[in-house]
């Protein structure tokens, strides 16, 4: 491991805004913060919104700056990426930002029923051919349902047509309430997206460009956006999904992987 990474990992230990549970704290047991993020971490009762796969945390930070009445937690497994967001939140003394280093697979050990008001998923890996690792698969939606408030919304912003179409198909086949959908965000007028988002959230949607988004925009890929509610009784179904067709459409996902 390079010196830069070691230095970031060491500094991560000093950030009060960064929670890094050990495997023992989340594997099949509840983490001490589960159900207590408001009282024991943020020390207020503002709604809490998650960004899953937040990388360097650009989105979490921007949303938090624009929406001081909401608390945001960016979740990722990569410590060197989280360092960037946690460092900025620390330097700027942002009281409504937290970062959580964990595998999202463990998330049920970290949040209690009704503890989370909404979810953003930004530029997640499409996980082509690996549905159970895809962040909008039935397995993950079931985890989110365990802690999302009734009516809580999942927002998905991605360059990947594969992930976008898969997520739309899963929402449709489970009769989930789709609130907004576009396959070309920057050529879609903000007011034509159904306005479940606040004015400030719409600004973040159009104005924040994360590390990965900049990369894909530079290659000319349109950015997609989808939002839906996951209120649903019973198990989620997988969609009837043409893996091969969309895999070809999403060839750039492979290009990025091998770089």
Ligand X SMILES: C[S@@+](CC[C@H](N)C(=O)[O-])C[C@H]1O[C@@H](n2cnc3c(N)ncnc32)[C@H](O)[C@@H]1O
Distance of CA 195 to the CA centre of its chain: 20
Shortest reach from residue 171's CB to ligand X, in Å: 20
Catalytic residue from among 30, 62, 76, 125: 125
Alpha carbon distances (Å) from 216 to 9, 19, 69, 158: 28, 30, 32, 10
Other CB atoms within 10 Å distance of the CB of residue 211? 13
Closest CA to 173 of 195, 141, 215: 141
Alpha carbon distances (Å) from 155 to 11, 226, 257: 31, 6, 24
Q: Does 55 bind ligand X (CB under 6 A)?
A: yes
Exactly one of 211, 243, 251, 257 binds ligand X (CB under 6 A); that residue is 211
Q: Which residues pair with 120 in a beta bridge?
A: 51, 155
Shortest reach from residue 62's CB to ligand X, in Å: 12
Q: Does 186 bind ligand X (CB under 6 A)?
A: no
Q: Does 103 bind ligand X (CB under 6 A)?
A: yes
State yes or no: is 40 an active-site residue.
no
Pattern 57-96, ligand X, x by CB under 6 A: -------------------xxx--x---------------
Give the binding site for ligand X (CB under 6 A): 53-55, 76-78, 81, 103-105, 122-125, 210-213
**Looking at the annotation, which residues are catalytic?**
125
């Amino acid at each position: 491991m390079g010196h830069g990474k070691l230095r970031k990992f060491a500094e991560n230990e000093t950030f009060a805004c960064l929670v890094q549970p050990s495997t023992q704290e989340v594997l099949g047991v509840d983490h001490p913060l589960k159900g207590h993020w408001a009282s024991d971490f943020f020390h207020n009762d503002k709604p809490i919104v998650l960004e899953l796969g937040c990388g360097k945390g650009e989105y979490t930070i921007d949303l938090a700056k624009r929406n001081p009445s909401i608390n945001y937690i960016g979740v990722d497994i990569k410590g060197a990426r989280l360092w960037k967001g946690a460092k900025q939140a620390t330097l700027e003394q942002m009281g409504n930002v937290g970062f959580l280093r964990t595998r999202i697979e463990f998330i049920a050990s970290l949040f209690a029923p009704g503890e989370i008001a909404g979810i953003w998923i930004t530029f997640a890996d499409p996980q082509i051919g690996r549905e159970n690792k895809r962040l909008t698969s039935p397995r993950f939606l079931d985890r989110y349902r365990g802690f999302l408030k009734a009516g809580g919304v999942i927002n998905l912003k991605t360059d990947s047509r594969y992930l976008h179409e898969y997520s739309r198909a899963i929402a449709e086949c489970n009769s989930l309430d789709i609130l907004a959908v576009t396959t070309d965000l920057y050529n879609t007028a903000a007011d034509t997206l159904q306005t479940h988002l606040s004015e400030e959230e719409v600004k973040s949607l159009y104005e924040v460009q994360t590390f990965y988004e900049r990369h894909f925009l530079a290659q000319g890929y349109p950015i997609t956006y989808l939002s839906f509610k996951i209120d649903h009784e019973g198990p989620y179904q997988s969609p009837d999904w043409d893996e091969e067709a969309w895999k070809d459409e999403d060839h750039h996902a492979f290009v990025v992987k091998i770089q």
